[in-house]
Chain A
Amino acid sequence: MSAQKIPNKIWANSGDSHFVEPDDLFDNALPKALADRMPKSQKFEGYEIVTVDGLEFRRSMPKPGKDGQSMGDIVSQRAPGANNPELRLKDLDEEGIWAEVTFPSIGIWASSIQSRDLMDAGVKALNDWAHDYIMKASPRLVPTASLSLLDIDDAIREVERVAELGFRAAFLPTAPPKGQRPYNDIDTWDPLWTALEKNNMVLAFHIGTEPVDASKRTGVVFGGPGGAVLNYTYTTFGGQIATMQLITSGALDRHPNLRVLVSEGGATWGPFIGDRMNEGYRQHGIYVRPELSKPPKQFLYEQVYASFQHDESAVAAMQHMGWNNVMWGSDYPHLEGTYGHTQKTLHELFDDAPEAVRKRITVGAFNDLFPEVGPPPADEFI
């Protein structure tokens, strides 16, 4: 039973959106010798040849059904704002989205780059493009900066560089690239956490971004019956593991001003993971190192934010389980997102929730991290 008036249009910020980069980004931004080594696709009848960093793969072309388009083509065509800021802002206005964090779409092949010089040049080109094309288009668009994690010193230098450009968040995959230590390795990662904290940049994980072995099938862990839902749900867990690694290794303890955003992975996992970490921290205390100044769940509740799209239980994670950092996200323009039905989704989620809960999840949590986007238009009532 709704206890308050319901606005006609619910405005929300999005903690998870994407831009689709132009095909010729690296050709235009990098010397030919480097550009030629960036991910490229040649399409043939029924298959494509992908080359990246000296490797070459044959891949059967996706079969979307009747018209032979790739899923990437479909995403771009169904949402022209996927790669056009002007059209995008029109979509955002129609959908009721005020501001959004945008992640790159460069895709699975980036993790196949193993050459330090290529990766470093690639992320610089990508970030410069995001700065010129996205950030300059509107203060409502908050692009995340990509980093090369093949070398931590390179990553730190890029944090310093993009902070000067005005970036407020850095995108990290939910697991480090091949050859790097896991995120709970303090000696490896603490200098990067220090740089992010010092430069007031949000550490933004996006689920489903674990590095993949390009010689194997991508994004497919389960086959057979139920595979689609199994694989989709499985993508959620990487963000939870990365979060636990940061908390249990003491990274958030040592960096109290570092904020972490886990995008697209839902939110109800936060209270659950927090409880499990607290239980482990106390009941297995004899094995615990490093010791923390607060229970693990408290770090999660205070410094970690999470975005969700449709999840019915996510509102309860804030309203009834006390995690104040639950944030809504559209995942525009992706198929699992809310494009085309954002208002319906927001009404389904929030019409029965107290106004304070709605405003916290749709606006307030986002504005904790990115206050510079300003407030959305005021609620309108009949």
Chain B
Amino acid sequence: MRTTHDEHATLPELEEEEQVLGTPSFEVLVHDGRALATGTYFMVPPLYMRKAQWSTEVPDQLVIIASDGSTWCADNVPRVGKANVVLRPATA
């Protein structure tokens, strides 16, 4: 069995470029003020929406409780029409 770098040096070599995952993101699709569905991109494990509510303290702030219990939010979310909103972790 070949085990050293030198012994392998003469074999046909295949190049691989650096593989990079995309930018992690947790997003919610909002339609006329209703949080229809969330989606995570490049997050491990993925998060799912368990509850959505409008903030009682910050106008037009949407608050999402995720499947792992974490709280996420987005500001200036339109209540009319469709919007894809990127969420951010809510500060305590």
Contacts and interface: CB of A to CB of B under 8 A. Distances in A.
A351 interface: yes
A77 B44 contact: yes
A287 B38 CA distance: 54
Find the residue from B14, B28, B29 having the highest chain A CB count within 10 A: B14
Interface string B1-23: 01101001101111111111110
Given A49-B2, A343-B39, A347-B37, A60 B16 contact: yes
B67 to A, nearest CB: 8
B14 A347 contact: no
A43 to B, nearest CB: 11
A74 B44 CA distance: 9
A17 to B, nearest CB: 16
A56 B28 CA distance: 48
A329 B34 CA distance: 26
Contact of A6 (B11, B21, B31, B39): B31
Given A62-B19, A63-B18, A94 B48 contact: yes
A64 B48 contact: no
A49 B16 CA distance: 13
A283 interface: no
A357 B22 CA distance: 32
B2 A6 contact: no
Interface stretch (A145-153, A169-177, A213-221, A314-322): A213-221
B16 A61 contact: yes
Contacts of B31: 2, 6, 351
A137 interface: no
A47 B11 CA distance: 12
Contacts, number: 95
Interface string A165-192: 0000000000000000000000000000
Contacts of A344: 27-29, 36-39
B40 interface: yes
B25 to A, nearest CB: 9
Q: Give the secondary structure class of B's interface.
A: loop
Interface stretch (A22-30, A333-341, A364-372): A333-341
A237 interface: no
Nearest to A96: B37
Contacts of A341: 27, 38-41, 46
Given A49-B11, A351-B31, A62 B38 contact: no
A212 to B, nearest CB: 10
Contacts of A335: 21-22, 42
Find the residue from A6, A335, A341, A345 having the highest chain B CB count within 10 A: A341
Contacts of B19: 62-65, 71
Contacts of A61: 16
A340 B31 CA distance: 20
A344 B41 CA distance: 11
B36 A59 contact: no
A49 B5 CA distance: 10
Contact of B21 (A2, A56, A65): A65
Nearest to A69: B19
Interface of B: 2-3, 5, 8-9, 11-22, 27-29, 31, 36-48, 84
Task: Please provide the 3 A-B residue pairs with the shortest distance between their CB atoms, ordered closest to farther.
Answer: A341-B39, A344-B39, A340-B46
10 contacts: A49-B11, A57-B12, A58-B13, A59-B14, A59-B16, A65-B19, A78-B45, A217-B14, A341-B46, A347-B36
Given A45-B5, A57-B11, A215-B12, 9 more contacts: A44-B8, A57-B13, A58-B9, A64-B20, A78-B44, A341-B40, A342-B39, A344-B28, A344-B38
